[in-house]
């Protein structure tokens, strides 16, 4: 039991001894690195425990609730489960309140400004992830403005470029009907480049932020998303976050065999994950059913639809996946 907590104690010691100070706010790089390692290997519960430990150890620091909110976001993306939205929003509000309190005592605290803006941006991303795209982009605007203010005063504050570039990109995707205008394409490219800067140079960005970059590439250039996604899958073979996005890129390009390989791998990972009730596997088979239909593979489509229907016999799965199950049933009936 004692050994279990040694890594956390060690990390908090590192926070005190090696954390970067900007104004009065802590920047827990070592804690973030460990959280990243856990999330990249699908160990979300352990990542949450680590953030809880940091929050308890440093209750006045906005970094704690922000990091936990980020973990919840990655978790909900992997499992497609937004049932903890209330908890997420409480963490965001706590981050904002703590950051404002820091700024009251030191208005030049750039990291406090960052945490405040990041909370707004994270809220916007959550809204987008839950299917409310335009509302999410609008919600993220204030966060992006906050990041813009930071880099206008310090162009080497690389973490701010993650949200700045992401907002720049998705704002122009929302303006897609004006895509013939040359500045729209330029803005998207600028947004991608800014996110790349944050990934490579940010202190609280790093490998996990590649999920942001991959999502942008999926929209902008699926072929590049495949190339980058394959690299990430090689570097982080157990990470489902990157695998989901790589599978989507293959699906967009109708690379059937590659998509089958990736989504089958995710389904196997989900089958061995106690936190998944079967919905993760179902999502994989549904994606392959849709892809099979789009490329004219009728027998394969029927096969994957039946796998969806079989998993849907579980009541918890049916409640969460009713729409997909009913669509699979209709596709089988048509066959």
- Give per-residue pLDDT as tens, 78-91: 999 989 989 999 99
Residue 278 near residue 314 (C-beta atoms within 8 A): yes
In whole angstroms, how large is the CA radius of gyration of the chain?
21
Give pLDDT < 50 ranges for the chain: 1-18, 20-22, 180-182
Q: How long is the chain?
A: 335
Predicted confidence at residue 11, as pLDDT, reads 43
Hey, what CATH class is 1-150 in?
Answer: mainly alpha
Pick the CATH number of 254-335 from 1.25.40, 3.30.70, 1.20.1070, 1.10.3470: 1.25.40
| Count of CB atoms situated within 10 Å of the CB of 137 | 22
The one-character DSSP state at 50 is H
The pLDDT value given to residue 213:
95
CATH 1.25.40 maps onto the chain at: 1-150, 254-335
Q: Nearest Cα to 204, choosing from 56, 329, 28, 20?
A: 28
pTM of the shown model: 0.88
The predicted structure's pLDDT at residue 135: 63
**24, containing H or E segment:** none
Query: What does each C-alpha distance from 205 to 28, 31, 92, 197, 213 come to in angstroms?
Result: 12, 12, 18, 10, 11
């Amino acid at each position: 039991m004692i050994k279990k907590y040694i890594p956390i104690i060690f990390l908090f010691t590192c926070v005190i001894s090696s954390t970067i100070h900007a104004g009065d706010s802590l920047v827990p790089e070592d804690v973030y690195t460990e959280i990243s390692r856990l999330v990249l290997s699908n160990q979300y519960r352990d990542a949450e425990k680590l953030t809880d430990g940091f929050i308890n150890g440093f209750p006045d620091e906005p970094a704690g609730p922000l990091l936990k909110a980020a973990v919840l976001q990655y978790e909900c993306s992997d499992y497609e489960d937004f049932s903890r939205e209330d908890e997420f929003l409480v963490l965001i509000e706590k981050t904002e309140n703590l950051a404002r309190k820091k700024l009251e005592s030191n208005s030049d605290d750039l990291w406090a400004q960052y945490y405040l803006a990041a909370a707004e941006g994270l809220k916007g991303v959550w809204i987008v992830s839950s299917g409310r795209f335009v509302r999410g982009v609008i919600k993220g605007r204030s966060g992006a403005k906050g990041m813009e203010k930071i880099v206008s005063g310090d162009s080497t504050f690389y973490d701010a470029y993650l949200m700045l570039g992401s907002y720049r990109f998705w704002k122009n995707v929302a303006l897609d009907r004006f895509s013939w205008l040359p500045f729209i394409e330029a803005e998207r490219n600028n947004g991608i480049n800014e996110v790349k800067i944050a990934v490579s140079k940010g202190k609280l960005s790093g490998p996990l932020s590649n999920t942001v970059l991959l999502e942008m590439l999926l929209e902008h250039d699926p072929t590049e998303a495949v190339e980058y996604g394959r690299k990430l899958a090689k570097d982080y073979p157990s990470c489902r976050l990157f695998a989901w996005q790589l599978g989507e890129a293959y699906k967009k390009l109708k690379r059937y065999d590659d998509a089958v390989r990736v989504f089958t791998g995710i389904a196997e990972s989900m089958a061995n994950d106690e936190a998944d009730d079967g919905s993760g596997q179902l999502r994989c088979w549904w994606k392959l059913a849709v892809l099979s239909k789009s490329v004219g593979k009728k027998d394969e489509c029927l096969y994957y639809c039946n796998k969806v229907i079989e998993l849907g016999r579980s009541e918890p799965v049916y409640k969460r996946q009713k729409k997909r199950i009913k669509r699979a049933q209709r596709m089988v009936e048509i066959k």
